[in-house]
Amino acid sequence: MLKAIGAGSLDELFADIPAELRLDRPLDLPDGRPETEVFDHLAALASRNAHADSELCFLGAGMYDHYVPAIVDAITQRSEFLTPYTPYQPEVSQGTLQAMFEFQTAMSELTGLPVANASLYEGPSSVASAAYLAIGATGRRRLVASRGLHPHARETLRTYARGFGAEVVEVGLAGGLTDAAELAAAVDGATAAVFVQNPNFLGAVEDLERLAAAAKEAGALTVAAVDPITLGILRPPGDCGVDIAVGEGQPLGGRLDFGGPSFGFFCAAEEHLRRMPGRIAGEAADADGRRGFVLALQTREQHIRREKATHNICTAQALNALGGIVYLAWLGKRGIVELGELLARRTAYARERLAAIEGVELLHDAPVVREFALRLDAPVAEVLERCAADGIAAGYPLARDYPEHPDGLLVAITERRSREDIDRLAESLRAAVSEAVGVAA
Amino acid sequence: MAEESYPDDLLYHPEHDWARIEGEEATFGITWYAQDALGEVVFYEPPEVGTRVSKDRPYSEVESVKAVSEVYAPLSGEIVAVNEKLAEAPETINEDPYGEGWLVRVKLADPSEAEALMDAEAYRRMLSE
Amino acid sequence: MTRPPATAEIPAPQQRERVVTIFERSAPGRRAGTVPACDVPERPLAELIPARLLRERPPELPEVSEPEIVRHYNRLSRRNFDLDTGPYPLGSCTMKHNPRLNERVAALPGHARLHPAQDPKRAQGALELMWRLERALCEICGLPFASLQPSAGSHGELAGLLLTRAYHDDRGERRTKVLIPDTAHGTNPATVTMAGYETVKVATNERGGIELGDLRAKATGEVAALMLTNPNTLGLFDENIAEITRIVRDAGGVLYYDGANLNAIMGRSRPGDMGFDIVHVNLHKSFSQPHGGGGPGAGPICVSERIEPYLPVPRVVRSEAGNGAGPSFAFDYERPKSIGRLRGFAGNFGVFVRAYAYIASLGGDGLAEASETAVLNANYLLARLRAGRAGRYLPPAFDRRCMHEFVLTGAPAKRELGVRTLDIAKRLLDYGFHPPTIYFPLLVDEALMFEPTETETREGLDALADAIEAILAEAEEDPEILRSAPYTTPVRRLDEAAANRRPVLRQGAGGG
């Protein structure tokens, strides 16, 4: 090959690199190893993680231990979906493009908003992406965010806002819900958008319609971060006057994967179509009249619009979104409703049982669907240690994200947590709290 | 699509825009060369009536599938009319760039600015270079 | 090589398939999964949640059985061309083989079933993996500190410019511009705007590198950063790179390196040594994460000491145990100068697992060999394409040795044969290859950018060169063959203009 190139050696091919920039030693990395050793090394690392198959998991905070049906893996592991590139040559990418179209349809259905894209990275950064759209659309620079928005979303919003030059103002919670009066007072003629989450981070079901109305009155957009698994039973944001619905897609057939990869979804009212971020698949006809799909409205995107693009995103989370539409097809029209009902009922049961424990009370009693917040009369960290020793991850401590709730604990329910599991949690929590209190006393 | 042409009764701007002057008003559009370079136009959103445009500055954009092109004002003035038809049929810009594919009509601020524009022959010369 | 059909008379089998969406397959009452029965009191929903907050009608999701789902998506999958099936010489994409070991280790329960909110003391394997991956990327890039948080290259770019802003703000300096070459990938200027800066373009010289005079003129006290990739999107290594970074550094700017082309130089040269402050690495390019049809990926960043204080939180930190036990790892949030978070939790951990497995498999030597082979393959393919019809109709844009990718111009083909780069690309589909990147970079007329990667064998490269030769011969005989191609793919050329004029972006749009 070198002969064909006309080079005497491999080094010659790198001749353009000036001598002083040539690395004159091997990379200081461990040597390469055969597959069997690499596997053992990775398996050893994995074995040092306490995961949801090795203990009972009541952790939530944005990602949930839902059951991932086997067909999701079977389909997403197929070479034809796993290994191709972004569909820039649509004639050989109809599988990916049609799956995107179906995914967009499903997310549009769930949120009640007509336009959906084919994915963003994940939940919190999708919230920030909605902010970028809002400041472009309104020309305003103030963002009002409820304290019920996921702490990671609020932080991400602030980080991005420092870049595109917006101010982030926070509105507090009252009784676990966004303080509607405080929100109405905070929204003004300089506000580009209001950000709320439903159910909110403390698990409470918000009145989106009322909050959106307050925003609209001031000419601001409403962005709702929603949990997709609850959209089988909760009123879709589009029906509540919400302009943009975004969120974390992990509950829809995604692995826990220590936080990623998952996908973010982004759905909006028709008027925002041309400001939408990310890829969008659209229907098209080929030269012989056959039905097909293409990447639509690419002039919004970075590869064409460059500095005026609606967003800088290129690679998104297409494979995870495919997992999402497969999951939603598997769950189906009836399944998503039944799942929502089951979650609501089990969560109600769990909340009742745990609140009945001595030294445990509800942090708020707003309606909940799949997650709720408790206050413990014992050091939360210690209680969690004791439950962990029982093989249970009892919940997410709130202290760091909500210093006003130093003894708060967030407990999440999925369809994998049976009544027995909940009873086991109750028993373990009861023992843990009383022991921790006993020790402290 | 239209055949290549550069009508003699128009004036031309180096950014491939034309102006048809009628008294104190002028109609603007993009030339055959511009629409050919863009390809099939899929979207055009006109600016609002009343907007002021400045000579040599962009005042809107024309989009094809794979490109976006800024449209430059050959002359300064205030927009008095926009071509509403283009919202439904943006491809008119390709089919008839000098007629039905007109973009905006402007009340001129300074008709003497026309002296800086090229005639059809000068524009054709510029294209061939 | 057998020539594929050059007309549309005999439709390919998949072309005869009626395209049906999963929604259109639905029949009322069908279902695939079932939800566990309710084992707690079956209280009416309206008792638990106020009725006005509840949905009135179920969402119109599909109603299909499991076999129908499986058949539907399996059929769909076969309408894709994929990397496991054939070559994908897309310039700037680094479509190298995705080792299946990576999927196996990513699926281990200790990874796939690990909740992100798990107590870090009970996720030590995960934190150690992240720490080790950071160290490996730092060594490859020649910079001391890292964050794995960004979810893709674009996200890494945004992180980089937000770090830049924090750095200048900390110095009380107000800088408004970012310099990028005119060959830059579109994500660069898009990111500049998102980060609140103004894009200023720097010219490319005749050798395909940065025009130093233009750079010197533009590197003022208003410049926050220069964003560059080296080798650049033309596949060319800029010999002046040390001078370039010095010019910007002397003007007080930050140097940002887009790691998209790292596959050319692993083990040979390092962006940190070239003088860059911030590098993003595309794990879905050089580090074998599968592209998945458009993600997931990851865009971790490595940074210099002067940028380190501003890195996103949480940071992964390692401490030696005092008591003879091994080191322990933690998430550190106490970074007062940090720009904050760019997303939830720690990032695309599943991607970290795969990239780490790849690095562990290859080792330092293996990575260096991968780059060498990538550069060798690109130069070999270029040499093949300099000969014959390709040499005549698709000459290189720059008459230089390339690195891991190269750019040809189809201007002569357009002029002499009446076929555009697009037409050549579409005919290549019929020959069983994914085309190269087309119409990028914008600097080159009728551009074709080839990046074969180290995965392709010599025979594979010869086959690709032979196919292009054959296609150009077809064009000489009858250019219409190319202009109406492809013929054998699941669909033929699609009317994108119509699709964009009246967009249909979901099933049932417009009340249908």
CA A317 to chain centre: 12
A233 to C125: CB separation less than 8 angstroms, yes or no: no
- The DSSP secondary structure of C362-425, one letter per residue, reads HHHHHHHHHHHHHHHHHHHHHHHHHSHHHHHHS-BSSSS--SS-EEEE-HHHHHHH---HHHHH
CB pairs under 8 A between A and B: 14
**Contact residues, chain A, for B64 at CB < 8 Å:** 299
Q: Say if A311 is an interface residue toward chain C (CB within 8 Å).
A: yes
Using the 8-state DSSP alphabet, how is residue A234 labeled?
Answer: B
**C196 to A163: CB separation less than 8 angstroms, yes or no:** yes
Contact across the interface for A307 and C193, Cβ inside 8 Å: yes
B34-81 tens-digit pLDDT? 999 999 999 999 999 999 999 999 999 999 998 899 999 999 999 999
The length of chain C, given as a count of residues: 512
Identify the three-state secondary structure at position B49: coil
**Buried residues in C141-166 as b, exposed as e (16+ CB within 10 A):** bbbebbbbbbbbbbbbbbbbbbbbbb
Sign of the C-alpha dihedral computed for residues C475, C481, C482 and C488 taken in this order: negative
Q: Return the structure tokens found at A202.
A: 């403390």
Contact criterion met (CB < 8 Å) for B68 and A298: no
Determine the residue of chain B that is closest to C442 in CA distance: B67
Please say whether the beta carbons of C167 and C182 come within 8 A.
no
Using a CB-CB distance cutoff of 8 angstroms, which residues of chain A are in contact with residue C85?
A: 79-80
Percent of chain C with pLDDT over 70: 99
Q: Which two tokens stand for residue B53?
A: 């445009």
Contact in structure between C260 and A84 (CB atoms under 8 Å): no
What is the pLDDT, as a whole number, of residue C220? 97
Judged by DSSP in three states, C205 sits in coil
Question: Domain residues of chain B, as ranges?
Answer: 11-108
Amino acid sitting at position A293: F
Place of tokens 């198959």: A53
Query: Following DSSP, what letter does each residue of A264-286 receive, concatenated?
Result: EEEEE-GGGGGG--S--EEEEEB
Q: Where are the domains of chain C?
A: 101-358, 365-498
pLDDT digits (tens, 9 = 90+) for A394-426: 999 999 999 999 999 999 999 999 999 999 999
- Chain B CB contacts of A305 below 8 Å: 68
Nearest-by-Cβ selection for A10 from C339, C372, C489:
C372
The answer to whether the CB atoms of B40 and C497 lie below 8 A apart is yes
CATH 1.10.10.10 applies to domain B11-108: no
Residue type, C121: K
What pLDDT shows up at residue C403?
A: 95
Nearest to C38 among A319, A325, A342 (CB): A342
CA distance C348 to A99: 22
Tokens of A225: 């971060």
CB contact set of A25 (below 8 Å; sequence gap of 6+): none
Chains contacting C (3+ CB pairs below 8 angstroms): A, B
pLDDT at residue B1, rounded to an integer: 66
Nearest CA of chain C to the CA of A140: how many Å?
A: 14
CB contact under 8 A, C439 and B42: no
Q: Is A78 in a helix, a strand, or coil?
A: coil
- Kindly tell me if the per-residue pLDDT of C417 is higher than 90: yes
Q: Which residues have a Cβ under 8 Å from the Cβ of C156 and sit 6 or more positions away?
A: C150, C259, C280, C281, C282, C299, C300, C301
* Predicted confidence (pLDDT) per residue in C451-478, tens digit: 999 999 999 999 999 999 999 999 999 9
Task: Search chain B and give the residue with CA nearest C495.
Answer: B65
Which pLDDT score is estimated for A4? Answer: 87
CA-based max dimension of chain B: 38
* Distance (Å) from the alpha carbon of C142 to chain A's nearest alpha carbon: 10
Nearest to A255 among C350, C372, C434 (CB): C350
Distance from CA of C415 to the nearest CA of A (A): 24
Extract the residue ranges of chain A whose pLDDT is less than 70.
439-441
Cα-Cα-Cα-Cα torsion C354, C360, C361, C364, nearest 10 degrees, comes to: 130
The mean pLDDT of chain A is 96
Query: Tokens 């111009």 map to which residue?
Result: C409
Classify residue C8 as exposed, middle or buried by CB count within 10 Å of its CB (0-12, 13-18, 19+). middle
pLDDT digits (tens, 9 = 90+) for C307-336: 999 999 999 999 998 788 889 999 999 999
Question: Shortest CB distance from A83 goes to which of C290, C353, C506?
Answer: C290
SS3 for A115? Answer: strand
Tell me: the pLDDT tens digits for C179-214?
999 889 999 999 999 999 999 999 999 888 999 999
Q: What's the length of chain B?
A: 129
Residue A92 is nearest to which of C43, C81, C157, comparing CB atoms?
Answer: C81
Distance CA C487, CA C497 (A): 20
Instruction: Map tokens 């080929």 to a residue.
Output: A286
Cβ-based neighbour number of residue C191 at 10 Å: 34
The residues, ordered by sequence, that sit 6+ positions from A203 with a Cβ below 8 Å of its Cβ are A176, A347, A368, A369, A370, A371, A372, A373, A410
Residue of chain A nearest C438, judged by CA positions: A88
Mean per-residue pLDDT over chain B, rounded:
94
By DSSP bridging, strand B104-108 and strand C177-181 are unpaired
DSSP state for residue C489 in the 8-state scheme: S
- How many Cβ atoms from other residues are within 10 Å of residue A46's Cβ? 23
Shortest CA distance from B38: residue in chain C: C497
Tell me which chains share at least 3 CB pairs under 8 Å with chain A: B, C
Half-sphere exposure of B129 (CA within 13 A, CB side): 7
What residues of chain A lie within 8 A of the CB of C24, using their CB?
none
B–C CB contacts, 8 A cutoff, strictly below: 17
The answer to whether C497 contacts B43, with C-beta atoms less than 8 Å apart, is no
Residues of B in contact with C500 (CB under 8 A): 42-43, 63, 65
CATH number of C365-498: 3.90.1150.10
Q: Give chain A's domains with CATH numbers.
A: 56-63+333-440 (3.90.1150.10), 70-326 (3.40.640.10)
Bridge partners of B58, per DSSP, are B72
Q: Which residues of C touch A417 (CB under 8 A)?
A: none
The pLDDT-based confidence of C9 (bands split at 50, 70, 90) is confident
- Supply the mean pLDDT for chain C: 96
Residues 295 through 314 of chain A touching chain B, CB cutoff 8 Å = 298-299, 304-305, 308
Same fold: C101-358 with C365-498: no
Give the total residue count for chain A. Answer: 441
The whole-angstrom separation of Cα C263 and Cα C269 is 11
CA A25 to chain centre: 43
Residue A241 phi, psi (nearest 5): 85, 10
Element (H, E) at A104: helix A94-111
Which pLDDT score, from 0 to 100, does residue A1 have? Answer: 84
Answer yes or no: do C501 and B39 touch at CB < 8 A.
Answer: no
Residue C512's pLDDT is: 34
Cβ contacts of A304 on chain B, cutoff 8 Å: 66-68
Q: Which residues contact C54 (CB under 8 A, 6 or more apart)?
A: A233, A234, A235, C45, C46
CB-based contact C501 B66, cutoff 8 Å: no
The DSSP annotation for C313-344 comes to SPEEEEE--SSSS--EEEEE---TT----SSS
Q: How far apart are CA A29 and CA B96, in angstroms?
A: 64
Q: Which of C45, C104, C504 sits opposite A344 (nearest CB)?
A: C45
Question: For residue C45, which residues of chain A lie inside 8 Å, CB to CB?
Answer: 233, 341, 344
CATH assignment of C101-358, given 3.40.50.2300, 3.20.20.140, 3.40.640.10, 3.40.50.970? 3.40.640.10
CB proximity B126 to A under 8 Å: no
Q: Could you tell me the pLDDT band of residue C511, with boundaries at 50, 70 and 90? A: very low
| CA distances from residue C160 to A314, B78, B84, C255 in whole angstroms, order as listed | 16, 43, 44, 9
Which chain A residues are within 8 Å of B41, Cβ to Cβ? none
Neighbours of B (≥3 Cβ pairs closer than 8 A)?
Answer: A, C
pLDDT tens per residue, range A78-106: 999 999 999 999 999 999 999 999 999 99
Using DSSP, state whether A27 is helix, strand or coil: coil
Substitution target in A12, A27, A227, A400 with the highest count of C β-carbons within 10 Å is A27
Q: How far B40 CA lies from chain C's nearest CA (Å)? A: 6
Alpha helices in chain B (DSSP H): 32-38, 85-88, 92-95, 120-128
The residues pairing with C406 across neighbouring beta strands, listed in sequence order, are C450
